[in-house]
């Protein structure tokens, strides 16, 4: 495999190829992924999907980034957000995730953001370590509640 890795944006025509890689992080039906991806790619002012690939066209990972608006009382009011971030296990700890994150951060900066945020499950130690390695700090732990209405 080639060692030259580049990061670029996912194209609409690549949705079919991207679905299995996205499914590795978020298992779901192919049709659900395709529908959501069509929606995301139709909003380039709000979402971007970045692909890390080799010059031999092997895809190593991806990052979905979005812009989130917060109430005016919270600062900053607008921030970049890592919606999803995945690197194939064989390519982890080689800088691929950092390259993807750098592309998302560059995009967020061009949109006027001063902060990049993300979330993960508290038990996902691999994700927590990757985030911290890339400069993120834990600023909140949340307990989420749900109630079924009858």
Q: What is the pTM of this model?
A: 0.87
User: Looking at the domain assignment, is residue 145 inside a domain?
Assistant: no
User: Looking at the domain assignment, is residue 141 inside a domain?
Assistant: no
User: Looking at the domain assignment, is residue 31 inside a domain?
Assistant: yes
User: Looking at the domain assignment, is residue 103 inside a domain?
Assistant: yes
Report residue 73 as tokens: 């009382």
Q: What is the CATH number of the domain that holds 11?
A: 3.40.630.30
The total number of structural domains that make up the chain: 1
Residue 82 · residue 62 · CB < 8 Å:
no
pLDDT digits over 46-63, tens only? 999 999 999 999 999 999
DSSP-assigned beta bridge partners for residue 62: 51, 86
Report residue 91 as tokens: 């390519």
pLDDT digits over 121-141, tens only? 889 899 999 999 999 998 887
């Amino acid at each position: 495999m080639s060692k030259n890795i580049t990061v670029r944006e996912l194209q609409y025509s690549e949705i079919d190829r991207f679905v299995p890689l996205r499914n590795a992080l978020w298992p779901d039906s192919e049709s659900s992924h395709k529908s959501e991806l069509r929606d995301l790619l139709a909003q380039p002012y709000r979402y971007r999907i970045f692909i890390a690939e080799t010059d031999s066209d092997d895809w190593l990972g991806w990052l979905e980034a979005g812009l989130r608006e917060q109430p005016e009382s919270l600062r900053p009011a607008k921030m970049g957000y890592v919606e999803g971030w995945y690197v194939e296990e064989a390519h982890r700890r080689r800088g691929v995730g950092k390259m993807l994150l750098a592309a998302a951060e560059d995009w967020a900066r061009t949109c006027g953001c001063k902060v990049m945020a993300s979330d993960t499950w508290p038990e996902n130690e691999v994700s927590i370590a990757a985030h911290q390695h890339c400069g993120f700090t834990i600023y909140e732990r949340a307990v989420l509640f749900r109630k079924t209405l009858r």
